[in-house]
Structure 1
């Protein structure tokens, strides 16, 4: 098979995954032009990271839920409830900030286990279980906060979502530490990508031509270091970006390189075959829901830190943004398909559109209309691809 044929096959088999990156670039270019470059200014790039980090954290857990063939409608309420628990511990009872974080994570774990029990062992569909959870945990948020907001958090807690590494290695008008961190991460990406390519060649799997491989690395390097330069010229490296990057790396490895991850894909792709193959379906489903509860509590800590308060209405509609990020990023409605990186790109597409329209002064109602249409088109594209594949 020629190099050209290999490339054509890769594009055909992964058209949606490839297309989402091109769509992301196109959306950035369009809004950069419409906003006269404001979208890509150092300050705005930093704000994008800070304002949408909690949605991206939720999307990491949600994509695993969707791959397994489920859906979780309760994450917005869990964000609110865990943030409320943290606020009560830290603000009302004057405990150290880290005790509040641990309390939120503990409650999130219990919530994930609670919902995992009903889904995995009782057999109630996740849609119904989490719809119940959406109501239950919203009500518990109101009870916990006595239906009022709690603020402010101590400075250490606020720094979780609002703090920066800046000036660690010095710099003349920019933060050298940020550039160094991104450069090291880029070297790690090069090494991982090169190893993956060699492995695919060893197993006689199709790979792109070497010149195209080099071009891809150059483009990725440019984008990553440009992003690092923007952050370095604003306020430095956000703490929350480190948290998000660590979660992306960990969950990418979990979904792609572990037995548990393969079992999640197997259950979503073909439940009957997974059961016949000896997959412990109940425990895998329990683990998926437990994990979602934990990540929702992480998002709850980040959001309450960002807002410097716990609010009864916190997390409203977050579940829909997280679900939309996953589907736009390539997850299949029927399960068995999706990637953490795809969900991140889907979430960033939603973030760029929301932020870009906000900079243009577009009414919030129109923003919701556009986001709804984008989600509909993304799912329609998935259905179209499946029908075309079935026809062949």
Structure 2
């Protein structure tokens, strides 16, 4: 009974986060029941490969939204950076790493350009990035001369399509993949234990020990099951390694660094942040530079996945990234949101898209469903705020 009460109390105190997890599990169970192939090793691998670039964009977008801004240009930046890589590698015949560096430099310059207008000129991010969406799409057409370029081949192609497998041998499954996932689970458990001890030291409320152990066990079981499925297929995708590194780094930046705390302060109350000594303009500038960088990373991954660059690449990516953040718990008014939540939101979008595709649902209906899910997520955010205000 104590465990049940603890679960109920934990869910109540973390309604938004627990609601996201419950929704994600429910969607996975639904599609698994409707299509037995949904949880097959090959399909799970395809989900990772097909939607990794949206998750990369969501990492940067959640920081933008937390700071009370928005970026509508990331889809066009994905197209532009992929186009630059294609021109350098395919048309000019230069090494793959030169194309990667060129794309990263372009993404950083885009971030500097938009950050300047937002932070130092004072134009709202919505307007600056709306202009950027048009500007960078037009530049993409110019860079590609209105034609597609392909194929990359070689190492560049393997950025998003390659796998790490066979490094430790295998017995019907890839042992290396299982070892990496086990290390990840151990790291997660250690991190959660440290966080719990820190909260206890500062006399903050924590869940009971049985509930804490249960949470770690459930996460470990799910993660290891997922790793086992990948190990049965083609091994550990390169892009999943890249995504894991980005999630860990940006999770630490947003939750443990001074800059991360300043981002939340600016989004929560800009005026109070200024009075507290936070350099608001600098924060706004660097979050857009960071978004440009991550958009270029997504552009590299997407062009690698497609094995080429197209003028229309990245269309609507910005809306998928924004939807992932709001579904994952980010607030429309800023100051609230986490990288982990954005990842869950992005996975919900990915699972829904993949599941509906397997079922043969028309594209038009898929867009309707995604729109309704986003609307319900924002409505849930508003409900939580009103509920919190009523309890004060």
TM-score range, shorter chain: over 0.9
Partner of 2:174: 175
Partner of 1:372: 371
Partner of 2:116: 117
- The CA deviation at 1:384 is 1.1
* Unaligned 5+ runs, structure 1: none
Greater Cα shift, 317-326 or 196-205:
196-205
Q: Could you tell me how far apart the structure 1 residues matched to 2:72 and 2:288 are? A: 12
Partner of 1:285: 284
Q: Could you tell me how far apart the structure 1 residues matched to 2:361 and 2:330 are? A: 29
Report if aligned partners of 2:3, 2:211 keep a CA contact under 8 Å in 1: no
- The CA deviation at 1:7 is 5.7
Q: Could you tell me how far apart the structure 1 residues matched to 2:258 and 2:9 are? A: 28
For each residue in 1:34-90, what CA deviation from the matched residue of structure 2 results, as whole angstroms up to 9, or x when unmatched? 11x211100000000000000000000000000000000000000000000000001
Cα root mean square deviation, aligned: 1.2
For each residue in 1:308-360, what CA deviation from the matched residue of structure 2 results, as whole angstroms up to 9, or x when unmatched? 01000000000000000000000000000000000000000000001001111
Asked if 1:63 is matched to 2:49, the reply is no
Report if aligned partners of 1:10, 1:206 keep a CA contact under 8 Å in 2: no
Q: Could you tell me how far apart the structure 1 residues matched to 2:69 and 2:112 are? A: 15
- The CA deviation at 1:387 is 1.3
Partner of 2:158: 159
Partner of 1:14: 14
Report if aligned partners of 2:3, 2:210 keep a CA contact under 8 Å in 1: no
Partner of 2:211: 212
Q: Could you tell me how far apart the structure 1 residues matched to 2:50 and 2:9 are? A: 38
Partner of 2:256: 257
Judging changes above 3 Å, is the alpha-carbon distance between structure 1 residues 296 and 139 closer, same or farther for their aligned structure 2 residues?
same
Q: Could you tell me how far apart the structure 2 residues matched to 1:128 and 1:6 are? A: 46
Q: Could you tell me how far apart the structure 2 residues matched to 1:34 and 1:7 are? A: 30
Q: Could you tell me how far apart the structure 1 residues matched to 2:331 and 2:343 are? A: 15
Partner of 1:361: 360
- Between the two proteins, the alignment pairs up a number of residues equal to 390
- The CA deviation at 1:24 is 0.5
Q: Could you tell me how far apart the structure 2 residues matched to 1:206 and 1:282 are? A: 35
Partner of 1:107: 106
Partner of 1:238: 237
Q: Could you tell me how far apart the structure 2 residues matched to 1:273 and 1:223 are? A: 42
Q: TM-score, normalised by structure 2?
A: 0.98
Q: Could you tell me how far apart the structure 2 residues matched to 1:15 and 1:374 are? A: 17
User: What is the SS of the residue equivalent to 2:172?
Assistant: coil
Report if aligned partners of 2:266, 2:280 keep a CA contact under 8 Å in 1: yes
For each residue in 1:244-288, what CA deviation from the matched residue of structure 2 results, as whole angstroms up to 9, or x when unmatched? 000000000000000000000000001111000000000000010
User: What is the SS of the residue equivalent to 2:167?
Assistant: coil
Q: Could you tell me how far apart the structure 1 residues matched to 2:223 and 2:154 are? A: 30
Alignment of 1:264-303 (within 5 A): 264-303=263-302
Report if aligned partners of 1:72, 1:130 keep a CA contact under 8 Å in 2: yes
- The CA deviation at 1:166 is 1.2
Report if aligned partners of 1:97, 1:154 keep a CA contact under 8 Å in 2: no
